[in-house]
Amino acid sequence: MSHTRILPAALLLGLGVCYTASAASEAPQAKVSPSFNCAKARAGSIDKVICASPELSQLDRDMDEDYMRAMAETPRAMWPDILAEQREFIRSRNKCMGIKKQRHHCIAFAYESRIQRLADWIDGSWQE
């Protein structure tokens, strides 16, 4: 199967700079919870970084919903591929913790890239 993978090096090289925050993101945002329990997040972990950001929390929730939808709408035979990509996403996203200055943008870029890839699974374009 031919598909684009998120390359950890691409994230670490600052492609997250391509991510641009809208003016709306500067306005106060309502509390958004990610897909996981923030009370269980360890200090210094990527989970804590995500929990502290309404934007990253929303991206995590959106990605989780798209992941569940992709699994529901894709033939069972393809599930191992989706799972392998999800594991690669997590590894790549977690490498953003090594970046201090652009960490938020790196994490957001990882989520946005994963959401775009999940859209391929959802709409069936992975078959092309």
**Residue pLDDT, tens place only, 44-86:** 999 999 999 999 999 999 999 999 999 999 999 999 999 999 9
Task: Kindly list the distances between the CA atom of residue 121 and the CA atoms of 10, 109, 110, 127, in Å, as whole numbers in the listed order.
Answer: 22, 19, 17, 8
Any idea which residue has 């652009």 for tokens? 102
| Domains identified in the chain, total number | 1
Is 63 among the domain residues?
A: yes
pTM assigned to the model: 0.74
Is 41 among the domain residues?
A: no
- Percent of the chain residues topping a pLDDT of 90: 64
pLDDT score at 13: 38
pLDDT, averaged across the chain: 81
User: Worst-scoring range by mean pLDDT, 31-35, 71-75, 82-86, 91-95?
Assistant: 31-35
Residue 127's contacts (CB-CB under 8 Å, 6 or more residues apart) are none
The answer on pLDDT for 1 being more than 60 is no
Q: Can you give the residue range of the structural domain that contains 97?
A: 53-128
The answer on pLDDT for 10 being more than 70 is no
Is 34 among the domain residues?
A: no
